[in-house]
Structures are given as structure tokens and as C-alpha cells.
Amino acid sequence: MSGDRINLDNVSRFYGEVLGVNRVTLSIPPGITSLVGPNGSGKTTLMNLITGLVRPSRGRISVLGVAPSQPEKLFRFVGYSTQFDAFPKGLTGSQFIYSFLRLSGRPAAECRELTARAIKQVGLVEAAGRKVAAYSKGMRQRIRLAQAIAHDPRVLILDEPLNGLDPLVRSETIALFKRYAAEGRHVVVSSHVLHEVDMISDQVVLMSGGYVVAEGRIRGVRSEIQEERPMQFLIRCKQPSLLASKAFEQDRVPDAQRRCGVVEARLLPEGEGVLVKTRDADAFCRALNHLALDGIDIEGVIPADDNVYSVYEYLIGSEEATQ
């Protein structure tokens, strides 16, 4: 299994006295994985560790079975788009991609072909002959992305890749990530933009203060914390009061199968529905089916905090506030 995953085993990195990341143990499967956390939480350090730009003070890392200390092997299948907004001087967009592709030892013709393809993928065909120094921020972001994907990597690591992109390019870029993930590749993305993370991620790694606070699929992370933070459902129905009372009643029935862990039910203004908090989301959903069969007209059920915003808020927001 470890051969197709990015594994970090008890990895720590200190910059002198300053903590970069501490005791991080992760096993990242194929698909889109988002690193989420406030500034200074260790996302970039983690990406730099995975790509060997910095070395761990402790612990071991392997990317599809290859150690980051072997760049000659690692970067045959890894592409990394960093946040560093600087480029070698005097190069045009296509020269930049081509020159660094040549370092892989590929023949010139193949490099030219790969360069053209990468530039097309990021929509920079018209600007490819211009100096990178004259590019806008969004174009520089795209040319970095082009450099990361030019050699068609199996593992794509992207530090804030959507920063500075206009909405159209943003959606094209997200589509590219999704296509990569659908092909069974690893796409590891760090982002501050939670709605994008929520939209694209197969799994998230929540980081704070150099530690991994939670990891896994958003739903999985959410259900892990539902004991302290009951899950919220917004139920639209014509009889919200009846639904609320029935929901509480369910917890008192002798049949344990029908109990649903409801801890709070709040009627919405204008009587459009009810907001229910439960410690057992699956049981509550089953109970709702029973209630519907009992004759309550339910128009819709929306999980109100089953997303990365809420998970981030619950796990990190409070820590940020105390910091």
C-alpha cells in the first residue's frame, strides 16, 4: 500500500527554536488532498518536506516509495508549484518551461512538445513568448503550474495554486486537478479558500501550529468530532414543531434502533423548518425516514455543518481565537 501513497512518519521540522511541523504522521492516498490551516500552521513546510526542499529534523518521508533525498528519482514523477514568486531572469514563459524540462535529460524535441502542451493546458499560449518578468501575478501563477505539470507527474503538489487566478482560469485549473485525481494521481493542494477546498477535495489535512489537527475525508473528520460538536441538519417541512417533538420522542422509544441522539431542535423563523443538532447523524437520518413514513411531510434535508468551513471553525477557529 505504501508504494502508492505519500507517507510521513512522525515527521518534525524545527527552524532553530521555531517549530515548523511537529510529529506529523500522514498517509496520503491518490486523489485531491487539501492542506488547510491558518498562516504559519506548517502547510508550506509540509510541502517543502515532501519535496525535499527542506529536510526533516526527525522522522521519515516517502513519496510513492521514494525518499525526498533522491531528487533524481523523485522529480521524475513529482511536480511542485511553490508559492515563491520569483523566476530566473531573462527567460520567456516557454524558455522557462523548456529549459528546466531539459534538465530531466529528455531530448529537445520531446521537451518542446511537453512545453507547448503545458502552456496550452494553463492557457498561456499567447503570452508564451513574452518574458516572465512582464507577466501579471495570475500569469506567473499559471506558468509555475505549467512548470509543475509539464512532465506529466503522478504526484502534483501545489502551494496556494488558485491565488491570483481569475474566475475562468480558476475553474479550468480546478477541472485540471479533478482530471488528475480521476486518473488516480495525487494532487496535494494548500489553500486558504475554504469553499474551493470543500468543492475539490477528496480529503483534507487540517493543520494548526505545526500539528495535524485532523485528516481524512471531510465527512469522516466531521463525524469524529460530532460528540463535542453535534451535527446540524436543516429540515424543511410544513410541520416543524411536530417534527421537533417527534425527533425528541424518538430518543425515548424502547427500540434502540430508532434512537437518533438529538440534543437540540430550533424552529426556523417564519416556520419554514427546523434546525436539529444530533450526536449520531446516521441514526438521525434513519429516524427521519421513519418519521416520513409516519406521515410528516419533509421537503428537504440539508446538512448545515458537514463541510470544511465548519470543521475548520470547530477545530482551528477556536485555537486561532485563543492565539
Partner 1 sequence: MIRLWCTQVLAIIRLEMKKTFFARRGLWVYLLAFAPLVLFVSHSIAIGHRRAELERIARDHPVSRAAFNDIQPGMTRDEVTQKLGRPYTQWSRRIRDGHNDQRERSHWRYTDGKSELFLSFEDGKLTSIHRSELDTLSQVSRIFAGVFQSYYLRLAVFFGCVGVFVNLFRGEMLDKSLHFYLLTPTRREVLLAGKYLAGLLATVVIFTSSTALQWLALLWQFDRTTIAEFLSSTGWSQFSSYLIVTALACVGYGSVFLAVGLLFRNPIIPTAIVLLWEGINPFLPAALKKISMIYYLQSLCPVSAAADRDVPGLVQLLISPVQPATRSVAVLSIVILTGVVLVVAARLSRRMEINYSTE
- Show contacts with partner 1 in window 143-182 (CB under 8 A): 147-148
- Show contacts with partner 1 in window 76-105 (CB under 8 A): 76, 79-80, 82, 84-90, 99-100, 102-105
Cα-flanking dihedrals φ and ψ of residue 229, to 5°?
Answer: -120, 85
Q: Does 41 bind partner 1 (CB under 8 A)?
A: no
Q: Does 71 bind partner 1 (CB under 8 A)?
A: yes
Residue 80 CB, shortest distance to partner 1, in Å, is 5
Residue 162 CB, shortest distance to partner 1, in Å, is 20
Burial class (CB in 10 A: 0-12, 13-18, 19+), 14: middle
Q: Does 252 bind partner 1 (CB under 8 A)?
A: no
Q: Does 73 bind partner 1 (CB under 8 A)?
A: yes
Q: Which CB atom, from 75 or from 180, has the smaller least distance to partner 1?
A: 75
**What's the rounded Cα separation, in Å, for the pair 182 and 39?**
30
- Show contacts with partner 1 in window 42-61 (CB under 8 A): 48, 51-55
Q: Does 109 bind partner 1 (CB under 8 A)?
A: no
Q: Which CB atom, from 89 or from 252, has the smaller least distance to partner 1?
A: 89
DSSP per-residue codes, 243-302: HHHHHHHHTTSS-GGG---EEEEEEPGGGSEEEEEES-HHHHHHHHHHHHHTT--EEEEE
Positive or negative, the CA dihedral 277, 224, 211, 147 is negative
| Beta strands 18-28; 31-36: pairing state | unpaired
| Beta strands 262-267; 78-81: pairing state | unpaired
Among 1, 39, 72, 294, binds partner 1 (CB under 8 A): 72
Taking CB under 8 A as the binding criterion, the range among 32-40, 70-78, 256-264, 269-277 that sits at the site for partner 1 is 70-78
Q: Does 75 bind partner 1 (CB under 8 A)?
A: yes
Q: Which CB atom, from 121 or from 232, has the smaller least distance to partner 1?
A: 121
**What's the rounded Cα separation, in Å, for the pair 25 and 29?**
13
Q: Does 69 bind partner 1 (CB under 8 A)?
A: yes
How many residues make contact with partner 1 (CB under 8 A)?
A: 32
Q: Which CB atom, from 72 or from 126, has the smaller least distance to partner 1?
A: 72
Q: Which CB atom, from 82 or from 191, has the smaller least distance to partner 1?
A: 82
Partnered with residue 270 across adjacent β-strands are: none
11-30 mask for partner 1 (x: CB under 8 A)? ----x---------------
Contact (CB, 8 A) for 310 and 263: no
Nearest to 2 by CA among 23, 27, 24: 27
**What's the rounded Cα separation, in Å, for the pair 151 and 240?**
57
Q: Does 130 bind partner 1 (CB under 8 A)?
A: no
Contact (CB, 8 A) for 246 and 287: no
Q: Which CB atom, from 29 or from 129, has the smaller least distance to partner 1?
A: 129
**Which one-letter amino acid corresponds to residue 231?**
M
Residue 161 CB, shortest distance to partner 1, in Å, is 15
Q: Does 129 bind partner 1 (CB under 8 A)?
A: no
Contact (CB, 8 A) for 207 and 46: yes
Binding site for partner 1 (CB under 8 A): 15, 48, 51-55, 69, 71-76, 79-80, 82, 84-90, 99-100, 102-105, 147-148
